[in-house]
Amino acid sequence: MEQKPQLAASLFGNVSPNTPKIKDIDLFNILPNPGQPRKTFDEQSLRELADSIDQHGLLQPITVKRKEDDQDRYILVAGERRFRAHQLLGKTKILGIVLTSGNIDELAIIENLQREDLNPIEEAEALSKLMERYQYTQEALGKVVGKAQATISNILNLNKLPEQIKREYSTSNSKVSKSLLMEIARHENHSEQLRLWDSVKFGNATVRAARQAKKEKTQIREATPIVKLTISAGKLFAYRLNLLQRADIFANTTDAGEIISLHDKINQQIGNLYPPDERLWQAVVELNSQLENIQSDVAWSDTMAEDFSILRDKLIEMTAKFGNQNDGK
């Protein structure tokens, strides 16, 4: 009896054992990928996909890989939306491509990137996890996912954005472009990033405006001497201190002690800027000012009276010394 030729051999020659297999797989044997780079799935979009699959069937199989410690189960590599749509339809099986080699994490992010399923924040987080898990350099990671090292660097920089921006971008179906998000990330100050984000999300800023804002900010920072910055910070501190009520400050002894300590330190640092005789004069002026502010009905303790007596004697002694020096001249 004549033997029929093998179809696979006649059409494709010898099939490699590493060739992916296509088969129907039970849904309950498929496990989600814990490293799935995509984090957000729109429910309305999933329902529309489920209706499409119900009407036209599954046009593209999902991609899975056998679980190493359980060959009867599979890890989902790509196609989680299709997998979830099948669950919504109450189906028990789904057509899948079973991979026999390859890194699951790399395959998952490459598939998502090629299909442009990841938003920029998800992409940045996924690339960061790959770098950390497999100790990739940016250059090596770029070769894995097919992107230039400079592009990888710009994407990873998005991880430095404040959590508020990441959260709002991922949950608001934002139409903000990746390039604009990257420009915001180039600003080092979180306050500035948030300010730009507030403008951007309402359509009030562009990539050019974000770049110009960073350029102007850099120029201002470079042109401002340290003395001016110190004076500005001092004015802000004085303004905020003026807003505090005395009762608020002394309600907590620790806070009061820190403010008094800060006051003394500022006075000392400022005093060090003057020559010795000028510092002495400043101290006299400060003492005179404080004495004038003392209320006449203040309750004097024995300790306070003793301290003032010592201070009085010291001032008399120093005044006499200056008088003698002047007489000698």
Catalytic (active-site) positions? 80
CA–CA separation, 86 and 94 (whole Å): 7
Give the three-state DSSP class for 140.
helix
**15 Cβ contact list (under 8 Å, min separation 6):** 8, 9
CB 40 within 8 A of CB 170: yes
Give the three-state DSSP class for 5.
coil
CB 154 within 8 A of CB 180: no
SS3 content of the chain, % helix, strand, coil (to 5): 65, 10, 25
CB 33 within 8 A of CB 106: no
The vertex-293 CA angle with 288 and 298, nearest 5°, equals 120
CB 256 within 8 A of CB 250: yes
The vertex-93 CA angle with 88 and 95, nearest 5°, equals 105
Q: What is the DSSP letter of 186?
A: T
CA–CA separation, 107 and 227 (whole Å): 55
Strand 70-78 vs strand 62-67: parallel, antiparallel, or unpaired?
antiparallel
CA 167 to chain centre: 10
Token pair of 222, please?
């470079």
